[in-house]
């Protein structure tokens, strides 16, 4: 009876997931294999897509799970590791929550898509000026752009813009996304920009950019559709965040903020920080520096942009604190919706926990190696110390390893080295580093997936 239940459970797991390997209760999916192979740089001994290298990759991922199983009783006490695991979990919770909101609310309007396609067939030569510290009630739109620029002691800049080459969202919206009729000679603006700026634009040329090639037209339409979906998705993401943060305004205590910013900027040990000082007021609560430190343990500060001087740093540091607090509220919202138990979140936590448990076990093996001093490079260390240890574990757990060999044989890998990251996120690596645990290149273990 027990064997029957086990058989049914294994069949269920393999039929309901893209399960490549099952080891006890741990699963390696086809997607795991691809991500760990292609989203991070593999070592030179397995960085091609031939069958031998594929087997080394598979064995490396299995070895990581075996190292983690062997080290299961080890309690991770390293605060940084624990904070990282929790931080990755909460970052994934926020991402899944927002993306599910996008998927539930995204609707592609064919009429809008067709209109975007027609507008994309034009590009424009423009001249423009950017007005800093813009005050709408004191601005008068009279004369040409040159006249206005001269009155403001500014020199116009010149640029060609097209649908796929317009790096300013406000300009893109006016020329392409919104249904404005744009023609040669038009004086457009002032268009309000972030940071209390405005832009004034004059259209010098409107140029038709039509291709008569049918394949080019189909490709353009697909690119427009992809852009439209991503653009609408970004709007839905912003709307979700704005809804969570509605009515919340941070009021900084200037002296405390400057003192804290100076501490981070200079790393000057003579600058003293009192963690009980109130840094800002938000939601009728007085937030101390210690509150920010607690949040920062799981969610490191991320700067939106680089800085070149102290004034720029103050601005970027303030943005980073605002983003930290925003993610605090988003995380609480995600917990309230139960996203800590979402299958994607649970899987992500397991992947990173196993990676860290295996990494700790790897260090134990290396530290306990009697002849460790003989090997002065990583390659020899993996071949002579870690590979034999991995081989012992493959033998020990052989009857607990099930591999879908047919799925494995069908996998095709890219030979291009790359690292995929979460841009502008506290934890930027999309997947853990490749597990350098074995050079084993055969599959002489385990049992075949039941059919």
What does the pLDDT look like over 102-130, one tens digit per residue?
999 998 889 999 999 998 889 999 888 88
Q: Which residues contact 75 (CB under 8 A, 6 or more apart)?
A: none
Looking at residue 136, what is its pLDDT?
64
Q: How far is CA 222 from CA 103, 109, 178, 215, 313, in A?
A: 19, 14, 20, 11, 41
- Could you tell me if 251 and 281 are in contact, meaning their C-beta atoms sit under 8 angstroms apart? yes
Verify cis geometry, omega within 30 degrees of 0, for the bond prior to 257: no
Q: How many CA atoms lie within 13 A of 145 on its CB side?
A: 22
Token digits of residue 260: 């804290």
Give residue 4's pLDDT band: very low, low, confident or very high (50, 70, 90). Answer: very low
Of the candidates 270, 278, 144, the one whose C-alpha atom is nearest the C-alpha of residue 203 is 144
DSSP label at residue 137: G
Looking at residue 370, what is its pLDDT?
67
Looking at residue 124, what is its pLDDT?
93
- Could you tell me if 65 and 438 are in contact, meaning their C-beta atoms sit under 8 angstroms apart? no
What does the pLDDT look like over 272-309, one tens digit per residue?
889 999 999 998 899 999 999 999 999 999 998 888 88
Burial of 357 (0-12, 13-18, 19+ CB in 10 A): buried
Query: Higher confidence at residue 183 or residue 451?
Result: 183
Q: Buried (b) or exposed (e) across 328-338, using 16+ Cβ within 10 A?
A: bebbebbeeee
> Helix (H, G, I), strand (E, B), or coil: what is residue 282?
strand
- Could you tell me if 289 and 295 are in contact, meaning their C-beta atoms sit under 8 angstroms apart? no
Phi first, then psi, for residue 132 (nearest 5°) are -85, 160
The whole-chain average pLDDT of the chain stands at 88
Of the candidates 117, 156, 97, 126, the one whose C-alpha atom is nearest the C-alpha of residue 334 is 97
Token digits of residue 129: 């000026």
Looking at residue 189, what is its pLDDT?
80
Pairing of strands 251-252, 285-288: unpaired
Looking at residue 272, what is its pLDDT?
84
């Amino acid at each position: 009876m027990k064997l029957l239940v086990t058989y049914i459970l294994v069949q269920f797991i393999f039929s309901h997931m893209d399960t490549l390997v099952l080891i006890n209760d741990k699963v390696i999916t086809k997607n795991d294999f691809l991500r760990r192979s292609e989203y991070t740089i593999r070592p030179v001994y397995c960085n091609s897509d031939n069958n031998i290298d594929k087997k080394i990759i598979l064995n490396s991922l299995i070895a990581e799970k075996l190292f983690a199983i062997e080290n299961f009783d080890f309690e991770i006490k390293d605060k940084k590791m624990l904070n990282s695991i929790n931080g990755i979990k909460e970052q994934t919770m926020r991402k899944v929550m927002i993306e599910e909101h996008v998927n539930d609310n995204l609707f592609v309007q064919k009429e809008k898509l067709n209109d975007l396609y027609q507008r994309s067939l034009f590009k424009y030569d423009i001249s423009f000026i950017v007005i800093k510290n813009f005050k709408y009630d004191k601005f008068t739109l009279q004369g040409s752009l040159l006249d206005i620029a001269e009155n403001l002691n500014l020199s116009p800049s010149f640029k060609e813009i097209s649908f796929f080459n317009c790096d300013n969202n406000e300009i893109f919206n006016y020329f392409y996304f919104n249904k404005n009729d744009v023609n040669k000679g038009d004086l457009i603006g002032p268009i309000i920009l972030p940071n209390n700026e405005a832009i004034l634009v004059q259209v010098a040329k409107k140029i038709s950019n039509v291709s008569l090639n049918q394949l080019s037209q189909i490709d353009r339409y697909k690119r427009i559709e992809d852009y439209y979906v991503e653009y609408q998705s970004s709007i839905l993401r912003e709307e979700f965040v704005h809804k969570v943060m509605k009515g919340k305004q941070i009021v900084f205590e200037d002296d405390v903020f400057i003192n804290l910013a100076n501490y981070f900027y200079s790393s000057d040990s003579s600058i003293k920080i009192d963690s009980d000082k109130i840094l800002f007021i938000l939601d009728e609560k007085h937030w101390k520096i210690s509150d920010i430190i607690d949040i920062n343990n799981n969610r490191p500060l991320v700067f939106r942009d680089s800085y070149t001087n102290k004034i720029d740093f103050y601005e970027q540091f303030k943005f980073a604190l605002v983003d930290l607090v925003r993610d605090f509220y988003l995380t609480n919202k995600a917990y309230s919706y139960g996203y800590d138990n979402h299958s994607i979140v649970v899987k992500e936590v397991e992947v990173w926990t196993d990676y860290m448990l295996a990494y700790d076990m790897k260090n134990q093996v290396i530290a306990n190696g009697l002849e460790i001093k003989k090997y002065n490079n990583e390659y020899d260390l993996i071949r002579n110390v870690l590979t034999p240890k991995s081989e012992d574990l493959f033998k020990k757990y052989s009857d607990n390893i099930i591999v879908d060999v047919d799925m494995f044989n069908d996998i095709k890998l890219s030979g291009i080295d790359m690292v995929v990251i979460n841009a502008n996120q506290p934890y930027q690596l999309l997947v853990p580093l490749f597990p350098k645990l074995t050079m084993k290149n055969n599959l002489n273990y385990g049992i075949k997936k039941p059919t």
